[in-house]
Amino acid sequence: DFALYFSKEKGRNRATLYDRGLEQRYRRRRDMQDELPVAIREGSLDIYFQPKVSLTDRAVTGFEALVRWHRKGGIVMPNEFIPLAEESGLIIELDLFILRRAAEIIAGWNKENGVALSVSVNLSALHLMSGKIVREVADALDATHLPPDLLTLEITESIELRDWARVQNTLLELRQLGCRISVEDFGAGFSSLAYLRAMNADELKIDQSLVSEIETSEEARFILDAVMDLAQNLAMSVVVEGIETEEQAAAIRQMGGSQAQGYLFGRPVPAEEALAATRPVELGETG
């Protein structure tokens, strides 16, 4: 979908290829930027839950909360709007909405069913630096009565060196509240060991890019193996993300992996649907 147009630039005649698709994407982006604050406040954001399972018996131990945006009859995925929310700072409000709502849903479900499922939420680095996060997490725990150890805060982005002292302090306070800290996407990009050590986290999430290569790359297997050993030595629990096949699950089990997430066990689905699937089938319900 291209059009050719001519422009006069610095006195020269130039032909420029004009991409209508590009303009549409630009317009969509701008519209989303305008609509996002309203979407957060007026409730068109939704929480999907993806199960986290124990690899030994595939029992669901908890869920990761993933944001979705219902917009003009369709669903917008986080990869499209999280970067916009980060640019504008709205990510803090967004993450807070997900944190409160996810804690409320899980606490309610646990109480109703006499279970102790955990919930993981994503926190942006910006939020960690906001100076308000500890209070906000404490308030969310108070309001929902979710036991703190059932809440895991997943930290994704790398944090700039100059912010470290502050971040470490905040992470410490969050752990003192009793909730768990998880380092995400380890194995993607240039993850550093110093970073891992400084985070002093409870959990390490291994990125799906490593898992997807498990059958084709010996190197990927070596790295996975080494990272899992490292985590164990640092007394961190390991969650392997993005398991899609039985072969991948078997390989991860062989390496000693005990917890996983991935399409093989369950895709992210609306919260009610995800939770209903964890309810044990009662006698007589099957027929």
Residue carrying structure tokens 């297997």:
221
Listed in sequence order, the residues at least 6 apart from 206 whose beta carbon sits closer than 8 Å to its beta carbon are: 186, 187, 224, 227, 228, 238, 239, 240, 241
Count of C-beta atoms within a 10 Å radius of residue 43: 11
**What amino acid occupies position 145?**
H
Binding mask 153-172 for ligand C2E (x = CB under 6 A): -x-x----------------
Q: Looking at 39, 40, 66, 199, which residue binds ligand C2E (CB under 6 A)?
A: 66
Min. distance of Cβ 18 from ligand C2E in angstroms?
A: 31
Q: Is residue 238 a contact residue for ligand C2E (CB under 6 A)?
A: no
Q: How far is CA 180 from CA 15, 106, 119, 127, 201, in A?
A: 57, 16, 10, 16, 7
**Residues that contact ligand C2E, how many (by CB under 6 A):** 25
Nearest alpha carbon to residue 195 among 215, 170, 167: 167
Binding mask 78-107 for ligand C2E (x = CB under 6 A): xx--x--------x---x--x---------
Q: Is residue 261 a contact residue for ligand C2E (CB under 6 A)?
A: yes
Binding mask 109-128 for ligand C2E (x = CB under 6 A): -------------x-x----
Stretch that binds ligand C2E, among 54-62, 173-181, 232-240, 259-267 (CB under 6 A): 259-267
Estimate the crossing angle of helix 20-42 against helix 91-113, to 10 degrees.
50
Residue carrying structure tokens 């279970």:
115
Residues within the interface to ligand C2E (CB under 6 A): 50, 66-67, 77-79, 82, 91, 95, 98, 122, 124, 154, 156, 184-185, 208, 241-244, 261-263, 268
